[in-house]
Amino acid sequence: MARVDQSKIRNFCIVAHIDHGKSTLADRIIEKTGLLTQREMQEQVLDNMDIERERGITIKAQTVRTVYKAKDGQEYIFNLIDTPGHVDFNYEVSRSLAACDGAILVVDAAQGIEAQTLANVYLALDHNLDVFPVINKIDLPSADPQRVIEEIEDVIGLEAQDAPLISAKNGTGIEEVLEQIVEKIPAPNGDPEAPLKALIFDSLYDSYRGVIVFCRLVDGHVERGSRIRMMATGAVCDVVEVGTFGAGQFIPCDELSAGMVGYITASIKNVKDTAVGDTITDDENPCKEALPGYKEVHSMVYCGMYPADSAKYEDLKDALAKLQLNDASLHFEPETSIALGFGFRCGFLGLLHLEIIQERLEREYNLDLVTTAPGVIYRVYKTNGEMIELTNPSNLPDPSEIDYMEEPIVNAEIMVTTEFIGAIMQLCQERRGRHISMDYMEETRVLLKYELPLNEIIYDFFDALKSRSRGYASFDYDLKGYEKSELVKLDILINKEEVDALSFIVHKDGAYERGRKMCEKLKEEIPRHLFEIPIQAAVGGKVIARETVKALRKDVLAKCYGGDITRKKKLLEKQKEGKKRMRQIGTVEVPQKAFMSVLKLDED
């Protein structure tokens, strides 16, 4: 079989701000190029997981190969690599971009450029991708394509006058997009005869085939039986199958060669061996150097995850292990809590990643979880010169052993309309932000740059941002580094007993406020007992806030309607059932919910 002609390949992705229609456009492209009939199309085929469909976001990169017959009469192979759409997955996004030669920038005709639009488009330009813009949602009454075109030219500096004006939802203007893909996205130009050099941009664990590696071949070729090596992890294996991507299915082929996007299976047992960003080469005839840009992903956010029913500990362990097969960025190790029993300290890329894992554990594995407050990794420098990376507040050494502590800081970019500047600046200030700059994108919109401590944004920063800007602000960040900080451990005492699962690290200036809010929240959540329960927040043994759950004074069912005992019994059963779902802290029964409710203290 003849080798695929590189000049007929277009490898590209779509970049956009969330909700600007990236996945819908992807669906239309797939549909119009005839891979699927409309009837076969499920809404947004590329978003596979339920959670992705529900939240309207892409979590895992998806890739699809279609064939388009252009107006020049030629057939072109389109490899559309759909990138994750959230800041938590920035590294994965960057690797997906590296697998492309060009990108379509989708901008909402009504909303214009947003923070993520900028972040993603700069990321694409950083990877030397040729980017062309598309104006979507022109069917909206509030659409103003001309304004958006000008904005794209002014702010990003991209030529936008001939940008296709489309409605991905209605299928308007898609032909023009397809033609521009052919025209404006460069064809790959690798050397098929050079030593194999392929970029891993994703991988997937399949229980029958092992790990399926998604890769872009830069140079060389690979086929069944080739012995390949992962240059960073050093893993070596024999290729079992190579192929390309249909919509939601794998289509085997004879070989993958330079310029192609496809998959490789090689009886690899663990996704850890196929790290995203690593370079695949031929074991016997390796390329001289790996592709640039590989880095190990580190968890940014940690929390404790405990089974609500302690008997489910092993189930939780199995479920985490299974998820990890598919998600190299998920870390977990066993830990124990006096309040919550046996569980795991888990590390995530960010809060969304945490929420997704939590939801998947609950839905796909039917587990009921109690999660402790997420925290970041603090660096604790001890007086003996030792440095520890702290992921669980309970492990904080005695203050006398601590010289100083550092916390991670991020560079944050927030885009907001001018009327909310005040509110957003105030929010950033409350979260200990350091103002870096403010630039006008256009008359009514500014880009605010702040340095913010990561632990201030992992809780509910995004929600607060949305509510204080009535949804208009958008936000992006990347890790800047570690800085020295005045941090303290805040402990919560329920009926005089310290609850380890509720302890967390906080800046000393915020300790009182947070302690007070936690006490208030716990007071709401802990039911009245037969005795009075003090709830205290303490720093270094000193109580800084207190609330009291008053003793229960009355709980009587008075009427008994016409001898309806069943109803009365149900009430008692409910009471007993409720108790089962409680955690015993000394003599106090604390609902599981209480541990979670303190995660969202800013909801007012």
Partner 1 sequence: MEEKKKLGIYIHIPFCVKKCLYCDFLSDTADSDVVNRYIEALKKEIGYTALNSIDFKSQYTVKTVFFGGGTPSLMNGEVIADILDSIIERFDISKDAEITIECNPGTVTKQKLDQYKKMGINRLSIGLQSANEDELKLLGRIHDYSQFLDTYSKAREAGFDNINIDLMSAIPGQTVDSYKKTLEKIIALSPEHISAYSLIIEPDTPFYDIYGDDGVTCCDQSSCKYEKWPPLPDEDSEREMYHITKDILKAAGYYRYEISNYSLKGCECRHNISYWDGSDYLGLGVGAASFMNSVRYSNTSDIYTYMKACEKLDKLPTAEYLFDDEEDMADDPDYINMEGYHEAIQPLSKNERMEEFMFLGLRMMRGISKKEFLDRFHTQIDDIYGNVIAKLIDQKLIEGDGDILKLTERGIDVSNVVLANFLL
Q: Return the H-helix or E-strand segment holding 525.
A: helix 511-525
What torsion, rounded to 10 degrees, do the Cα atoms 261, 263, 268, 274 define?
30
CB of 594 to partner 1, least distance (A): 18
For residues 166 and 139, the answer to whether their CB atoms sit within 8 Å is no
559 binds partner 1 (CB under 8 A): yes
Q: x/- contact string, 489-528, with partner 1 (CB under 8 A)? A: ----------------------------------------
For residues 259 and 198, the answer to whether their CB atoms sit within 8 Å is no
CB of 604 to partner 1, least distance (A): 16
**Strand (E) positions, 308-423?**
331-337, 341-348, 369-371, 375-376, 378-382, 387-390, 402-417
554 binds partner 1 (CB under 8 A): yes
37 binds partner 1 (CB under 8 A): no
For residues 86 and 59, the answer to whether their CB atoms sit within 8 Å is yes
Is 363 or 570 the residue whose CB approaches partner 1 more closely? Answer: 570
Q: Which two tokens stand for residue 401?
A: 């052993």
564 binds partner 1 (CB under 8 A): yes
401 binds partner 1 (CB under 8 A): no
2 binds partner 1 (CB under 8 A): no
Range in contact with partner 1 (rule: CB under 8 A) among 267-275, 296-304, 461-469, 565-573: 565-573
311 binds partner 1 (CB under 8 A): no
Contacts of 381 (CB under 8 A, 6+ apart): 387, 402, 403, 404, 405, 406
Cα–chain-centroid distance for residue 254? 35
Is 249 or 566 the residue whose CB approaches partner 1 more closely? Answer: 566
478 binds partner 1 (CB under 8 A): no
- Interaxial angle between packed helices 90-98 and 115-126, expressed in degrees from 0 to 180 and rounded to the nearest 10: 40
Is 321 or 552 the residue whose CB approaches partner 1 more closely? Answer: 552
482 DSSP β-pair partners: 408
For residues 201 and 99, the answer to whether their CB atoms sit within 8 Å is yes
566 binds partner 1 (CB under 8 A): yes
563 binds partner 1 (CB under 8 A): yes
Among 572, 600, 602, 603, indicate the residue that binds partner 1 (CB under 8 A).
Answer: 572
Of the candidates 54, 27, 167, 58, the one whose C-alpha atom is nearest the C-alpha of residue 110 is: 167
557 binds partner 1 (CB under 8 A): yes
Map residue 99 onto helix, strand or coil.
Answer: coil
Among 575, 593, 602, 603, indicate the residue that binds partner 1 (CB under 8 A).
Answer: 575
Is 2 or 530 the residue whose CB approaches partner 1 more closely? Answer: 530
Query: How far is residue 75's CA from residue 256's CA, in Å, rounded to a whole number?
Result: 18
75 binds partner 1 (CB under 8 A): no
146 binds partner 1 (CB under 8 A): no
Is 38 or 566 the residue whose CB approaches partner 1 more closely? Answer: 566
Report which residue type is found at 60.
K
Of the candidates 252, 275, 279, 248, the one whose C-alpha atom is nearest the C-alpha of residue 264 is: 252
CB of 368 to partner 1, least distance (A): 22
CB of 590 to partner 1, least distance (A): 16
581 binds partner 1 (CB under 8 A): no
- Tokens 């992807």 -> residue: 26
Is 334 or 578 the residue whose CB approaches partner 1 more closely? Answer: 578
565 binds partner 1 (CB under 8 A): yes
Among 560, 593, 602, 603, indicate the residue that binds partner 1 (CB under 8 A).
Answer: 560
Residue-by-residue DSSP string for 256-276: EETT-EEEEE-----GGGG-T
Chain residues in the site for partner 1 (CB under 8 A)? 530, 552-566, 568-569, 571-573, 575-576, 579
